[in-house]
Structures are given as C-alpha cells and as structure tokens.
Structure 1
C-alpha cells in the first residue's frame, strides 16, 4: 500500500484512465478557468482516498502552460460520478502536484 488513508499518493505518470477523466472534465475546467485549452493532456497525478477518490492531475494545455485539476470520483456504490472540485492555472511542468 503506497498511501496513508487521507494522505495523497506519490505522483505517478498519467494512464489512459486518467486521460479519460481529463477528457470528461475539460469543458468544466475551461468554464472555471474562463478560457479554452488547445491541448488537454494528462501528464501525472496523485490520488487521495476519502469516501471516494480525489484525483489531483497535472494537465499540459500547450506550450509551457499547465493546469492542475482536483477531481472527485464517488464510490461505485454511490454512482461513481466525477465532479471537478478545483482548477489551478498558470502552472509549469516543474510545479509539484499538491493538495488544494
């Protein structure tokens, strides 16, 4: 087990499943950020186990620009719905993913 309950995991390279989450969250992220993103490619992520899972995802949006997403996924028994809880803009590839 690589994660303490309530704490975040170590950063991992993004997987196709993480990219699927980003694809679903892109319009919501654009709305919260107030702009459109030409690219929206998941690069890395951390997870936090709560009553469901929080995903903190670093997303490349083109050039030197990145955003960080906080996405909550309900437990499957509660429907497994995804909700965008936050977006941090003006990030770079070197910015660590942190809880927000």
Structure 2
C-alpha cells in the first residue's frame, strides 16, 4: 500500500498514461513521435504523474502532470517539463 505523498515505483507506460500525454501534448513544439515509456505516480490532493516520453531519435522528456480529485472534475494540468533527457535518465519526483 502506497502512503499519501510517496512516489510509486516506476512502471511501464499504460494506455491511460499515453492518453494523459496526448491531452497535454501542446508544448509549443511539434513532435513526430510522442510515446510514453515509463511513469510513476504520487498521491497528493489528486495524483501527480511523472512520465518519460520518447519524442524522436535519442530524445526524451519528462512531464509532471497533475490530475485533480473527482470532485474537482479530474482535470489534467501540465505542471512541469524536463528536457533534454535520454532513455537512461531515471524518472521520478521533480
């Protein structure tokens, strides 16, 4: 059981996480590839998703997306982007 505020273990991306990224894809740059690879979560007042995304070639980026609680409509908000990243950079809290 994960404690509130703790970051989960890294998992392979799921269709749900890809869907979250697709909704937050407007980052001011167009990417030919935008594929989620791994992610971790943190339960706070909602859920933070820390997501590793392949954006083409050897390039990756990390996204922090917050999903609000059900009573707030489960809205998705892009909070932060880390770039440049590589496939070996660990994903975690940022």
Same fold (TM over 0.5): yes
Where does residue 22 of structure 2 map in the other structure? 23
Give the structure with the larger helix fraction.
Answer: 1
Q: Residues of 1 paired with 2:50 and 2:93: CA distance? A: 7
TM-score (norm 2): 0.95
Question: Which consecutive unaligned segments of at least 5 residues does structure 1 have?
Answer: none
- Over residues 46-98 of structure 1, what are the superposed CA-to-partner deviations in whole Å (9 max), with x where a residue is unaligned? 00000100000000001110000000000111111000000001100100012
**Matching of residues 1-100 of structure 1 within 5 Å:** 1=1, 3-27=2-26, 30-31=27-28, 35-100=29-94
TM-score (norm 1): 0.90
Q: Residues of 2 paired with 1:46 and 1:17: CA distance? A: 13
Please, what is the CA RMSD of the aligned residues? Answer: 0.8
| Equivalences, count | 94
How far is 1:4 from its partner? 2.3
